[in-house]
Structure 1
Amino acid sequence: MIFDGSNTVLVIGAHPDDEVLGAGGTMAKHAACGDEVHVLIVTEGTTHQYSDTDLIEEKQSHTRACADVLGATGVHFGELPDMRLDTVAHVDINDTIETVCAEIEPDIVYTHSRREVNQDHVDVHDSTLVATRPSSGVSTVIAYETPSSTDYAVNTDGFTPSLFVDISEYIDRKITAFTEYETEVREFPHPRSPDALRAIATTRGAASGVAAAEAFDILRSYR
């Protein structure tokens, strides 16, 4: 079982808020079970969307506040260019993830699905698979879905979850943590709204026989 208090967990997101949107309830569950939870945000998450580069520090502050709510003990920032990872050498993205993996030695890594409309997410997915190759010591690699990206993707075979995590006890904490990202919260029916996040969790829960769940695709698991 992956929730046994013996694991170091790393949740990788391309941008600030990806981690909580995709795996916030599962992060809280890991932390509550005694696992050590870390977050890596690969880009600075600001310069493409906003002209004020001072928002980088604000976004990092939001990430730390979100992590505190979820019980994550470590927050790491790659500070690569937002929405421009396709201009960054693949080896540099690999190195950003490999550096954190070497530092914390995670057992379980969560990352983006490749079935995404956001190219940064796809690049992070690809580099995660390099950084967590069999020789890395990582035992399990899992992909999460990202509202307003995974669900917007076309010309793919779709996100097909192979793992559902019961977050019935943690859905409220996930939503509270997400609202720490003041600049990212949208009004319903946008997928990045509190009501939509609850609806997604309810739908995933109904598909797996619980009140609320997060859905994942197991990419690699070594036993």
Structure 2
Amino acid sequence: MSDLSLARRVAVVAPHPDDEVLGCGGTMARLAAQGAEVHVVIVTRGQEPAFSREYMDQVMAEADRAHALLGVARTHRLDLPAAALDTLPASEVNARIGACLSEIAPDTLFVPFIGDIHLDHQIVFTSSMVWARPRSAAAPARVLAYETLSETNWYAAGTTPAFMPDTYVDIGDYLETKLDSFAMFESQMKAAPDERSLETIRALAVMRGSTVYCPAAEAFMAIRQIWRGN
């Protein structure tokens, strides 16, 4: 039995809407198709005047459509300020993310990578890991960090933490679903050769797949895996 088949209740923590699709949309679709209950936690929402209400309503509607296509059971919105998590006390961010994850009670947790260039991503990683501390049997048995195009690869690898995947999920049967779901984000999608283009998303999936002899894959860094007894 593979690790993936053990995942029954899954939480994907996304700093911003679309991070979850870029990082693990194919894996989410595969898990949902296999019967897992997949939840997405969108931590932030753009605030006026930096982001108009109309724009953010559009982005959230796009997320709903993308999640429906992927088979997401429920989308949780925390509505903390986007690009401003560092202005909040860490205790507040920890509490909000922790309360939501406690409600979901996932056995498998996907988080953004600590070395992403966006500070929101770094803070969300840390707050998620605060909640995920194995202080009881309810702690998630699997915690994995995903890569987000235009965030994970834009920092200063060698000086800052580098994304070095050690876990791959074959999404050959779900790549088109991932691409179709990201296409729902009309406000975020760009034309090639921008990294947030469908062509680049496909290219990364094919490259990651070729690394492990799969037609397409998503890559992760395993933060923690717990093999519990009976």
Q: TM-score when scaled to structure 1? A: 0.95
The reply on whether 1:158 has 2:162 as its aligned counterpart is yes
Separation (CA, whole Å) in 2 of partners of 1:6 and 1:201: 22
What is the deviation of 1:98? Answer: 1.1
User: 2:185 & 2:94 partners in 1: Cα distance?
Assistant: 27
Unaligned runs of 5+ in 2: none
- SS at 1:38 equivalent: strand
Query: 1:184 and 1:210 mapped to 2: Cα distance?
Result: 28
Say how many residue pairs are matched: 222
Quick check: 2:7–2:107 contact (8 Å CA) kept in 1?
no
The structural deviation recorded for 1:50 is 4.9
Q: In the alignment, which residue of structure 1 is the partner of 2:149?
A: 147
Deviations 1:96-120 (A, max 9, x none): 2211112121000001011111100
- The one-character-per-residue Cα deviations of 1:33-57 (angstroms, maximum 9, x if unpaired) are 100000000001x337954123222
Instruction: Give how far 1:2 is off.
Output: 3.2
Percentage of matched positions with identical amino acids: 35
CA distance in 2, matches of 1:143, 1:6: 15
- 2:114 and 2:161 in contact (8 A); partners too: no
Q: How does 1:112-191 map to 2 (within 5 A)?
A: 112-135=112-135, 136-154=138-156, 155-191=159-195
Gaps of 5+ in 1: none
Q: How does 1:61-76 map onto structure 2 within 5 Å? A: 61-76=61-76
RMSD: 1.5
SS at match of 1:184: coil
Which deviates more, 116-125 or 156-165? Answer: 156-165
* TM-score with structure 2 setting the length: 0.92
What CA distance in whole angstroms lies between the structure 1 residues aligned with 2:58 and 2:221?
Answer: 32
Is this contact kept in 1: 2:7–2:108, CA < 8 A? no
Local SS of the residue matching 1:68: helix
Distance verdict in 2 for CA 1:48–1:212, change over 3 Å? farther
User: Within the alignment, does 1:59 sit opposite 2:63 as a pair?
Assistant: no
Measure, in 2, the Cα distance between the counterparts of 1:51 and 1:81. Answer: 10
Contact kept, 8 Å, 2:11 with 2:38, in 1: the verdict is yes
Contact 1:38-1:72 at 8 Å conserved across structures: yes
Which letter does structure 1 place at the counterpart of 2:91?
Answer: V
Task: For residues 127-174 of structure 1, give each alpha carbon's deviation from its aligned partner in whole angstroms, at most 9, with x where no partner exists.
Answer: 010011102521111000000011111132411001011000001000
In structure 2, the residue matched to 1:41 is 42
**Alignment partner, residue 211 of structure 1:** 215
SS of 2:4's equivalent in the other structure is: coil
- How far did 1:93 drift? 1.3
State the distance in 2 between where 1:191 and 1:77 align.
Answer: 26
Amino acid at match of 2:182: F
